[in-house]
Chain A
Amino acid sequence: MNPGVWFITGVLVLIILVGAVLIAIPAFRRFAVVQLGTSVGLAVPEHLEPALRRRLVGRTVASLIGAIVGLAAAVAALQTRLVPSSESTDVAEFWLVFGGFFAGASIAAAIYALTAKPARPEGERFARSGAVDLRDYLAPIDRLGARGAVALGIVTVLAATAVSGVGLTHSNAALSIGGLIVIAGAVGLVLSEWASRRILDRPQPAGSPSELAWDDALRAQSLREIVTAPLSLGSWGSLAVLFTLVDAADSAEVGGVATFWVGAVGLVIVLIALFAAAGISIATKPQQHYLRRLWPEVAAAAKVATETRMAALKAGH
Chain B
Amino acid sequence: MLTIDPRSATPPFEQLRVQLREQVRTGELAAGTRLPTVRRLAEDLGIAPNTVARAYRELEADGFIETRGRNGTVVSAQGDATEQQGQLAARAYADRIRQLGVGREVALGWVESAL
In the complex, A131→B36 CA distance in Å?
4
In the complex, A130→B20 CA distance in Å?
10
Instruction: Confirm or deny: A4 has a beta carbon within 8 angstroms of a beta carbon on chain B.
Output: no
**B43, A125: Cβ atoms closer than 8 Å:** no
Instruction: Confirm or deny: A60 has a beta carbon within 8 angstroms of a beta carbon on chain B.
Output: no
Interface-side segment among A6-14, A45-53, A202-210, A229-237? A202-210
**B1, A131: Cβ atoms closer than 8 Å:** no
Number of interface residues of A (CB under 8 A): 24
Q: Given the known A-B contacts A124-B4, A129-B23, are A203 and B40 also in contact in the complex, defined by CB atoms under 8 Å?
A: yes
Which residues of chain B are near A123, meaning CB under 8 Å?
Answer: 5-7
**A129, B35: Cβ atoms closer than 8 Å:** yes
Which residues of chain A are near B40, meaning CB under 8 Å?
Answer: 131, 201, 203
A281 → B minimal CB distance (Å):
14
Q: Given the known A-B contacts A127-B2, A130-B34, are A205 and B46 also in contact in the complex, defined by CB atoms under 8 Å?
A: yes
In the complex, A296→B29 CA distance in Å?
15
Which residues of chain A are near B41, meaning CB under 8 Å?
Answer: 127
A198 → B minimal CB distance (Å):
13
B residues 1-20 touching A (CB-CB < 8 Å): 1-7, 19-20
Which residues of chain A are near B5, meaning CB under 8 Å?
Answer: 123-124
Which residues of chain A are near B98, meaning CB under 8 Å?
Answer: 135, 293
Instruction: Confirm or deny: B72 has a beta carbon within 8 angstroms of a beta carbon on chain A.
Output: yes
Instruction: Confirm or deny: A126 has a beta carbon within 8 angstroms of a beta carbon on chain B.
Output: yes
Instruction: Confirm or deny: A314 has a beta carbon within 8 angstroms of a beta carbon on chain B.
Output: no
Chain B, residue nearest A132 (CB): B36
Q: Given the known A-B contacts A124-B5, A125-B3, A125-B4, are A130 and B36 also in contact in the complex, defined by CB atoms under 8 Å?
A: yes
**B23, A204: Cβ atoms closer than 8 Å:** no
**A203, B29: Cβ atoms closer than 8 Å:** no
In the complex, A203→B46 CA distance in Å?
10
Which residues of chain A are near B28, meaning CB under 8 Å?
Answer: 129
Which residues of chain B are near A300, meaning CB under 8 Å?
Answer: 104
**A129, B20: Cβ atoms closer than 8 Å:** yes
Q: Given the known A-B contacts A123-B7, A124-B3, A203-B40, are A130 and B104 also in contact in the complex, defined by CB atoms under 8 Å?
A: no
**B46, A128: Cβ atoms closer than 8 Å:** no
Which residues of chain A are near B35, meaning CB under 8 Å?
Answer: 129-131
Q: Which 3 A-B pairs have the closest CB atoms?
A: A203-B43, A127-B44, A131-B34
21 A-B Cβ contacts within 8 A?
Answer: A120-B46, A123-B5, A123-B7, A124-B6, A125-B46, A126-B3, A127-B3, A127-B45, A128-B2, A128-B36, A128-B44, A129-B36, A130-B29, A130-B34, A130-B35, A131-B36, A203-B40, A204-B44, A205-B43, A284-B101, A296-B104
**Apart from A125-B45, A127-B4, A127-B41: 13 A-B pairs, beta carbons within 8 A:** A123-B7, A125-B44, A127-B2, A127-B44, A128-B2, A128-B44, A129-B19, A129-B20, A131-B34, A131-B35, A131-B36, A135-B99, A203-B44
The interface of chain A, by Cβ under 8 A from chain B, is: 120, 123-132, 135, 140, 201, 203-206, 209, 284, 292-293, 296, 300
